[in-house]
Amino acid sequence: MTRHPRSTRPESGTAPAFHATSAGRPAGPRELLIRDAADREIGRIEFRLCRACGTGHVDSVTVAPSWQGQGLAREALHRILPDDLALTWTTSRQTGQGRAFFAAVTEETGIDFPAGRPGCAHLREPG
């Protein structure tokens, strides 16, 4: 298959890679990047965690249109959920597509992701 070098269309047999960044401070902003085989960013989830207060907040979830519908956002969200504690989560304002996504993830995980302000003062501090 011939591809334009700038295309982000998925090729069969190429699995995206997930790369996490850490926060500069305990409750600082973090992100999990999704990259294709050519190391181009095809998605990201931006979030914050406060272990002291037991809260988490998803700021945004994006996946390039040509990669949507393959479970990448779902997998990214699962990767940011800590194994060692249960957090109370919130999300930024949700689009219709976002509401459907978070409803499906809630059904799958049993974790609610309501839209609203972060649940603790640490997460509301500027990054």
What predicted TM-score, i.e. pTM, was given to this entire model?
0.82
- pLDDT value of position 125: 74
3-state SS, 29-84, equals CEEEEEECCCCCEEEEEEEEEECCCCEEEEEEEEECHHHCCCCHHHHHHHHHCCCC
The Cα-based distances of 65 to 4, 7, 69 in angstroms read 16, 11, 9
Average pLDDT, 10 consecutive residues per value, the chain (127 residues): 39 77 80 94 93 91 93 93 81 88 91 88 76
Contact 55, 87 (CB under 8 A): yes
- pLDDT value of position 97: 87
The Cα-based distances of 4 to 8, 33, 42, 67, 70 in angstroms read 9, 23, 16, 16, 22
Q: Is 27 helix (H, G, I), strand (E, B) or coil?
A: coil
- pLDDT value of position 127: 58
